[in-house]
Amino acid sequence: MLRQNRRLFAIFLIVFIDLLGFGLILPLLPYYAETFGATDFQVGLLVAVYAAAQFIATPILGRLSDRVGRRPVLLISIAGNLVGFIILALARSLGMLFIARIIAGFTGGNISVAQAYISDVTDARSRARGLGLIGAAFGLGFIIGPALGGVLSQWGFAVPALGAAALSLLNLILVAAWLPESLTLQARQEAQARPPLTLRAMVEALRKPLVGPLLHTRFFFAMAFSTFQTIFALYALRRFNLGPRETGYILTYVGVLSVLVQGVAVGKLTQRFSERALILAATALMALSLLGWAWAPSVPILLVILAPTALSGGVLNTVINSAISKVVAPTDVGGTLGIASALEALTRILSPALGSLLLEQFGPWAPGLASGVLLLWLTTYVWRYVYRIAVVPAEVAIRPDPSPQLERLSD
């Protein structure tokens, strides 16, 4: 138990430092790009290329971690982050900014590897709690990083990038010195005997009877939630005439709630309710929350509405990864979680354009209405394909060896 807790703490710290570095420079990128004469379209493209690179690389990194181990892939990805941040700090042109963000996108998709590590060192009963710690570290990094980046930016935009590079170097040392490999040699050899991940394999994963519905749920839920995240600042300006400071306070409030949910509440909820019930409840609650977001009449009521938004988002994003890890063979955990993360990255490419188009054409209420209706449909889908049939029973999931059913899922 002590060994497991040490590993969980190590992964928590690694993800926290990783996201702290990411959060340092994310809010400053538009201003940094403008110093090189970037247009609004080019700034949007700078954000999009990072997500596009993650979409391509995340499932590859996940499958690679199944074949060679979690620790080497974490070391490679963190080293890539370090290089990307150094290029960002030394950038002398807009082209160098794009190169830096593409490198960071290709190597920054290591969250799925960290999630796979958690799956390796936890049993089925404690997995959601362990993955909740990953979500909490993720949220803390996003809360603290932008504030710290704002402070450092007073000495120039290169300084936060150098700070992020220093954090990546610290992370590299931490993994090399403190994190043991979680996959056995036998598991790695079994994974090496399997074919590499291809686009066809990703499509086939979406068709499998157990993991497919969970991946579909992850995609459509992320599509609605990403629309909320990416369009919220513009919504706040158009709906309530809020400035960046007030909007930042509200998003920090949501972030703190999400950290509390994933770090504390998820572990308690999974002890009382099944994962499939939590997925269904979180989807329905998010649908209602987004519909409320669409027509919130005032900021105080908006704050009330955003509480269940944070709750449902924190619960589903944690629990669904736990469920996915239980319906595939151990040799496929990293690759499948990588596919899930890639689908989420795809929503971050699509949702800003969709959300801004709806807001511009119809008004501030439109993104919330569209997202809420999408999740009302998703609730019926989850009821039919996830809650009733799609989750492997606990007595199957906790077996030490993959069952024939799990083997078929990974064929």
**Are residues 286 and 347 both part of a single domain?**
yes
Buried b (16+ CB within 10 A) or exposed e, 378-406: bbebbeebbbeebbbeeeebeeeebeeeb
Final residue of a structural domain among 179, 197, 215: 197
Write the DSSP assignment of 129-147 as a string of letters: HHHHHHHHHHHHHHHHHHH
**Are residues 169 and 295 both part of a single domain?**
no
Domain coverage including residue 319: 198-391+399-411
**Are residues 170 and 80 both part of a single domain?**
yes
**Are residues 189 and 221 both part of a single domain?**
no
Q: 257: buried, middle or exposed (CB in 10 Å: 19+, 13-18, 0-12)?
A: buried
Write the DSSP assignment of 140-173 as a string of letters: HHHHHHHHHHHHHGGG-THHHHHHHHHHHHHHHH
Query: For residue 191, what pLDDT is reported?
Result: 54
Q: Helix 94-107 to helix 70-90 angle, to the nearest 10 degrees?
A: 170
**Average pLDDT score over residue span 204-214:** 78
**Average pLDDT score over residue span 50-62:** 83
CA angle centred on 104, ends 199 and 331, rounded to 5°: 45
**Average pLDDT score over residue span 223-239:** 84
pLDDT digits (tens, 9 = 90+) for 275-324: 899 999 999 999 999 999 999 999 999 999 999 998 999 899 889 988 88
**Are residues 97 and 241 both part of a single domain?**
no
Q: Name the residue with tokens 């736990």.
A: 322
The CATH number of whichever domain residue 28 belongs to comes to 1.20.1250.20
> At 408, is the pLDDT very low, low, confident or very high (cuts 50, 70, 90)?
very low
More confident residue, 74 or 48: 74
Final residue of a structural domain among 197, 215, 248: 197
**Are residues 177 and 265 both part of a single domain?**
no
**Are residues 271 and 170 both part of a single domain?**
no
**Average pLDDT score over residue span 227-242:** 83
Counting every residue written for the chain, the total comes to 411
**Are residues 98 and 4 both part of a single domain?**
yes
pLDDT digits (tens, 9 = 90+) for 312-321: 998 998 899 8
- Three-state SS for 371? helix
Final residue of a structural domain among 197, 220, 248: 197
**Are residues 123 and 217 both part of a single domain?**
no
User: What is the chain's mean pLDDT, rounded?
Assistant: 80
Query: For residue 198, what pLDDT is reported?
Result: 57
pLDDT digits (tens, 9 = 90+) for 30-48: 778 888 888 867 877 887 7
**Average pLDDT score over residue span 336-346:** 82
**Are residues 242 and 259 both part of a single domain?**
yes
**Are residues 290 and 191 both part of a single domain?**
no
Nearest to 390 by CA among 273, 222, 312, 276: 276
Query: For residue 404, what pLDDT is reported?
Result: 38
Domain count, the chain: 2
**Are residues 163 and 192 both part of a single domain?**
yes
